[in-house]
Amino acid sequence: MLAQTNILVVDDHEIVFSGIKLIIQNADENFNMVNCYNGDECFELIQKQTYDLIIMDVNLPDTDSLQLFQLLLVRNPLLKILIFSMSPIEMYA
């Protein structure tokens, strides 16, 4: 039996979480997906659970997303993080 993939989606829009979940459901049935809405919730969750992937919006309420990104990597340097944004690519890429 394959191990379950744990995914954390950090985004303040429920519809984004639902869309990502639908896409991943079509690709892989063996996953557990959790959603949180800001950096504080994200940091709290990663202290309780190990995640294989974090999918994170770069624009989160009450959060310095780039600092959160650095904290996540300090905690787990091998963590896979996918960051997305509606902002122009020149700002964040």
Domain ranges of the chain: 5-92
Tell me the pLDDT band of 1, cut-offs 50, 70 and 90: low
22-55 pLDDT per residue, tens: 998 888 778 999 999 999 999 999 999 999 999 9
Buried b (16+ CB within 10 A) or exposed e, 5-39: eebbbbbbeeeebeebeeebeeeeeeeebebbbbb
Q: What is the CATH number of domain 5-92?
A: 3.40.50.2300
Q: What does the block give as tokens for 51?
A: 């995640």
Please give the average per-residue pLDDT across 59-75, as a whole number.
Answer: 89
Quick one: pLDDT at residue 86? 78
- Asked if 30 and 4 count as a contact pair (C-beta separation under 8 A), the reply is yes
Q: What does the block give as tokens for 60?
A: 């989160």
pTM: 0.87
